[in-house]
Copies of this chain bind each other. A is one copy, B any other.
Amino acid sequence: MFSDREAPLYEIKANLFKGLAHPARVRILEILADSPGQSCPVSTLLEGTGLEASHLSQHLATLRRHGVVTSVRTANSVTYSLAHPKIAELLAIARTFLLDTLADARQQLEAASALPGFGTATTHDGAA
């Protein structure tokens, strides 16, 4: 098992996505991305996410381990920042993709319900 460096890039990439693969962590990154300087203290994240402190801290640790955020202690508070502007870009692109996709899905739903034999039309993709 290699811990980055030495591993093929697609493994490292997968690992990065794994780091982003949790609602709480995405939320944290969104808050950071929207904050001035893409950084803010833990207390703000605490409010913004509504998580319990230790839970938040664990997600922050995960994000740190994945190199997605950095932290600096100032007096008795810790400030987190996005480690790289590309992270914000990643989130923005995911957003565009999802909005496009969701719009399409809604449209297909409407089109489907306008069809004659409506009621149990399956699209081979499940999700009744």
A residues lining the B interface (CB < 8 Å) = 3-5, 8-18, 20-23, 25-27, 30, 64-65, 67, 83-84, 86-87, 89-91, 93-98, 100-102, 105-106, 125-127
Instruction: Give A125 to B67 CA distance when docked, in angstroms.
Output: 10
Copies, count = 2
A88 and B25 CA atoms in complex are apart in Å by 23
Q: Which of B10, B20, B64, B97 lies in contact with A14, CB distance below 8 A? A: B20
Assess whether B86 is in contact with A100, with CB atoms less than 8 Å apart: yes
Q: Is the Cβ of A95 less than 8 Å from the Cβ of B27?
A: no
C-alpha gap A2/B45 in the complex (Å): 25
With most chain B CB atoms within 10 A of its CB, the pick from A84, A91, A126 is A84
- Contact assessment for A64 and B125 in the assembled complex, using a CB-CB cutoff below 8 Å: yes
Decide yes or no: A90 and B93 within 8 Å by CB, A27-B10, A127-B3 being known contacts.
yes
Knowing A13-B91, A14-B26, the reply to whether A5 touches B97 (Cβ < 8 A) is no
